[in-house]
A and B are shown apart, each in its own frame.
Chain A
Amino acid sequence: MERFVKVLFVAAGLFYFGVLMVPPLIIHSFHPPSGFESALATTATASTIATVFSLPAAMLFTFYGLRRGVAAVLPAVTFSTAVPHTAIGLLLLPLFARIGIVDTFPAVVAAMVVVSTPIGVGTLATLFSQHNKNLDEFLQTLSLNDLSIIWLYLRSAPTTIASTVLLMWLRSFSELGAFLIVAVRPATVGVYLYETFLRLGSGPAVGVALLVAVLGLVFSTVLFLLARLAER
């Protein structure tokens, strides 16, 4: 019976994957219109820069929220995960328009920071919660300041940090809703796909989507391997 259940779950997983990937492979060919490489490079660069800013922000929010009694700030930082990201874009639009960065690279990076920080908070909350209050109190009385304590927590789980960085980077990479409002240019991968679909129809767009999905599969595998490494 147990073997049957395992086979069933494997079949369900393959079916899920197959439904997404097989029909496009059969029906559509891969001929990406121009601009895909540029969109890919823009998105990867912006995601990297955004992660450099959003990771320390997530660390500080999580640490001070969970360990220094400022927990009330956490919903304020993470609410965007419960809101359509077109709404996030609309909320950012007045400020971006005022400072003149709509449809610019800085707007892409800034929007990425906004949407990826909550992901970092969510992942790091698990890490910081694992270390009990006693350890925190012990380290404080050993004259360590908060930054040193954060550093000690982080060095205890390098694979968790690697997973957090990758998740935040991927969240930035996959953003679309906010960009449609505040950063249509330079085109990111999501915007490029959407515009390709509107302009040229499903054929070319689906082919590129397949390629992006393969990239996603690679990153998911890396995340899975990091999680396995963390268990050891």
Chain B
Amino acid sequence: MLTVRDVEIRRGRFRLYVERLEVGSHVVILGRNGSGKSTLLQTIAGFIKPVKGTIAVDGVEVTGLPPRLRNLGYIPQEPVRLPMTPQEALEYFGKVFGRDYRPLLEELGVAHLLGKRKISVGEGQLLALALVMLKDPAALLLDEPVGSLDYPNKLSFWTVLKKLRKPALIVTHDPLEAAYIADVLYVIEDGRLWGPHPNTMRELSMEALQNFNLYEKLGATGNPTP
């Protein structure tokens, strides 16, 4: 469980206040461009110091700790391009975390990444998710992880994430995505985090995503791998 209490973030003229945020399931923060979604995530990850407030992971306060000691997994907004092949990355971080990556890849359904030397942006995000899961963090922080992905890859990423059932804080500006993935919703507006709201729109969003999947309807190939 990730908890954020009474946190205030200031960057120049920008100010964001979070009275209370709890992440024990898939929590989505919806906000417009420039509302502070990424700033909030970076603060929780440890790259920005809040003016006040506390951040705790599984009951342990981490507000003063550097990012690598917070037991959180973070996938940034821009796709990560690792300077190694997927196999090299999985072997390297498998050794770092003392875990065998093969069962995880099977569980996530991304074993096809092994043996590839070059991967697409979408596959890169799936690899990043697999590496973060190798660490087995207490919670995930995902900053618009599918922003750069095409529709089939987006669905693929969300499908994999849904399988994980790991507490995750996801930020997005897309209300349809938010409704699809969230158990709980928050909104950033006017420099403040509002919520929590239960997600009552999931069924509608799933229906909409299927209805508008023109890749399938028009007979296009490239369906996402589960």
A-side residues, CB < 8 A to B, are 131-132, 134-135, 137-138, 140-145, 148, 152-153, 155-157
Contact of A153 among B47, B80, B83, B93 (CB under 8 A): B83
Do residues B80 and A135 form an inter-chain contact, with CB atoms below 8 A? yes
Do residues A132 and B78 form an inter-chain contact, with CB atoms below 8 A? yes
**6 contacts across the A-B interface (CB closer than 8 A):** A134-B78, A134-B80, A140-B46, A143-B96, A143-B135, A148-B96
Please classify the interface of chain B as helix (H, G, I), strand (E, B), loop, or mixed, using the class held by over half of its residues. mixed
Across the interface, which residues of B come within 8 angstroms of A153, CB to CB?
Answer: 83
Do residues A138 and B128 form an inter-chain contact, with CB atoms below 8 A? yes
Complex interface: stretch among B25-33, B66-74, B99-107, B176-184? B66-74
Do residues A140 and B80 form an inter-chain contact, with CB atoms below 8 A? no
In the assembled complex, the CB of A150 is this many whole angstroms from the nearest CB of chain B, namely 12
| Cα(A197)–Cα(B32), bound, Å | 72
Q: Does B45 contact A (CB under 8 A)?
A: yes
In the assembled complex, the CB of A197 is this many whole angstroms from the nearest CB of chain B, namely 48
B-side residues, CB < 8 A to A, are 42, 45-47, 66-70, 72-84, 93, 96-97, 128, 131-132, 135, 141
Do residues B74 and A138 form an inter-chain contact, with CB atoms below 8 A? yes
Do residues B131 and A142 form an inter-chain contact, with CB atoms below 8 A? yes
Across the interface, which residues of A come within 8 angstroms of B74, CB to CB?
Answer: 137-138, 141
Do residues A141 and B70 form an inter-chain contact, with CB atoms below 8 A? yes
The 9 closest A-B pairs by CB, nearest first: A156-B83, A141-B74, A134-B76, A140-B67, A134-B78, A143-B68, A138-B80, A141-B67, A140-B68
Other A-B pairs, 13, CB within 8 Å; known A137-B42, A142-B68: A131-B83, A134-B76, A134-B78, A137-B45, A137-B47, A138-B74, A138-B128, A140-B68, A141-B72, A142-B96, A144-B96, A156-B84, A157-B83
Do residues B76 and A138 form an inter-chain contact, with CB atoms below 8 A? yes
In the assembled complex, the CB of B179 is this many whole angstroms from the nearest CB of chain A, namely 27
* Closest chain B residue to A141, Cβ basis: B74
In the assembled complex, the CB of A136 is this many whole angstroms from the nearest CB of chain B, namely 9
* Closest chain B residue to A145, Cβ basis: B68
Across the interface, which residues of B come within 8 angstroms of A144, CB to CB?
Answer: 68, 96
| Cα(A232)–Cα(B68), bound, Å | 34
Across the interface, which residues of A come within 8 angstroms of B96, CB to CB?
Answer: 142-144, 148
| Cα(A43)–Cα(B66), bound, Å | 44
| Cα(A141)–Cα(B135), bound, Å | 9
| Cα(A141)–Cα(B143), bound, Å | 13
Across the interface, which residues of A come within 8 angstroms of B141, CB to CB?
Answer: 141
| Cα(A142)–Cα(B96), bound, Å | 9
In the assembled complex, the CB of B140 is this many whole angstroms from the nearest CB of chain A, namely 10
Do residues A138 and B83 form an inter-chain contact, with CB atoms below 8 A? no
| Cα(A91)–Cα(B42), bound, Å | 44
In the assembled complex, the CB of A64 is this many whole angstroms from the nearest CB of chain B, namely 14
Q: A132-B78, A138-B75 are in contact. Are A155 and B83 (CB under 8 A)?
A: yes
Q: Max chain B CB contacts within 10 Å: which of A131, A134, A144?
A: A134
| Cα(A60)–Cα(B69), bound, Å | 22
Across the interface, which residues of B come within 8 angstroms of A131, CB to CB?
Answer: 83
| Cα(A69)–Cα(B78), bound, Å | 21
| Cα(A143)–Cα(B72), bound, Å | 9
* Closest chain A residue to B47, Cβ basis: A137
Contact of B76 among A137, A145, A148, A156 (CB under 8 A): A137
| Cα(A142)–Cα(B74), bound, Å | 8
| Cα(A11)–Cα(B70), bound, Å | 61
In the assembled complex, the CB of B169 is this many whole angstroms from the nearest CB of chain A, namely 13
* Closest chain B residue to A134, Cβ basis: B76
In the assembled complex, the CB of A155 is this many whole angstroms from the nearest CB of chain B, namely 7
| Cα(A143)–Cα(B128), bound, Å | 14
